Amino acid sequence: MKPTIQWFVAVVSLAVVASHRANGVIQCNDAVSKVVPCETYLLSGDITPSVACCTAVQDLDKIAMASQPDRKAICECFKETAKSFPVNLEKAQKLPDLCKVNIKVTINPNVDCDRI
């Protein structure tokens, strides 16, 4: 059975409830919801992100740049997401360049969010 974005959001929501860490203004499920347009790029064979995906990444970049607590909260969210969902990490690393943002948040299960 192929994972769907609804499953993705459910897993992330459970991770947030389990961790009880809301260090930033943005909640994990809100951050994940922002990148829903990137599903086909991050989870399937799409070679480039869609315009809608890049718009979503740019919106998330604005939130991440607003404060260090937001960056850390987004980082922790995507760190947990990357552990529990089959995100193509190589593609995820390319999103900032492809979408022309300066985002400092990495989607990687090994990232040290304290250094964000």
d(CA 74, CA 49): 20
Residue 89: per-residue pLDDT: 86
Across the chain, mean pLDDT equals 79
Mean local confidence (pLDDT), 40-45: 86
Percent of the chain past pLDDT 90, that is, above it, reads 31
Total-model pTM: 0.73
Under 8 Å between Cβ of 75 and 113: yes
Class of domain 25-115: mainly alpha
Distance of CA 47 to the CA centre of its chain: 18
More confident residue, 45 or 36: 36
